[in-house]
Amino acid sequence: MLRTHRLAWMLEHGKIPSGLCVCHHCDNPSCVNPSHLFVGTHADNAHDRDSKGRRQPPRGAKHGRARLTRENIQEIRALYATGEYLQRELGEQFGVSRGYVSQIVGREAWAWLE
């Protein structure tokens, strides 16, 4: 299987050197315009992304300092919604502060997670 941007590069420029990838100057993954493409290493591609400020910081459980998982967040929200638990109690149970539980149930923290 061949991705279309790689095929576009090959039709315009020939064989892709071994170990290199075809990257997008335009940052549009579906773009197949050969003038928008360049050949580089994964490091070149990452540098291009970072230099444009396109890197997304890790969020949720993928963040290096995360203490909670997606399942923990869903459980905290569900338990709090029952009305049987105080935010302080949930914080103690899950090892986080009452303030952080407040942010979780108020959807200020982990807002992207339903």
Cα first-last separation, the chain: 35
Q: What's the CA gap between 88 and 90, in Å, rounded? A: 5
**Are 71 and 45 within one domain?**
no
- pLDDT in single tens digits along all 114 residues of the chain: 889 999 999 999 999 999 999 999 888 888 999 999 999 999 998 898 888 877 777 778 777 778 899 999 999 999 999 999 999 999 999 999 999 999 999 999 999 887
Domain count, the chain: 2
Residue 111 lies inside a defined structural domain of this protein? no
**Are 15 and 33 within one domain?**
yes
**Are 64 and 101 within one domain?**
yes
Q: What is the CATH number of the domain that holds 84?
A: 1.10.10
Q: What's the CA gap between 86 and 57, in Å, rounded? A: 31
Q: Which domain holds residue 65?
A: 60-105
Tokens of 35: 């003038």
Among the candidates 32, 51, 70, a domain finishes at 51
**Are 47 and 67 within one domain?**
no
HSE-up (13 A, CA, CB side) for residue 73 = 21
Q: How far is CA 88 from the centre of its chain?
A: 30
C-beta contacts of 25-28 below 8 A and 24+ residues apart: 27/52, 27/54
Residue 30 lies inside a defined structural domain of this protein? yes
Residue 34 lies inside a defined structural domain of this protein? yes
**Are 13 and 47 within one domain?**
yes
Strands (E) across 11-101 are located at 21-24, 37-40
pTM as predicted: 0.53
Q: What's the CA gap between 94 and 78, in Å, rounded? A: 13
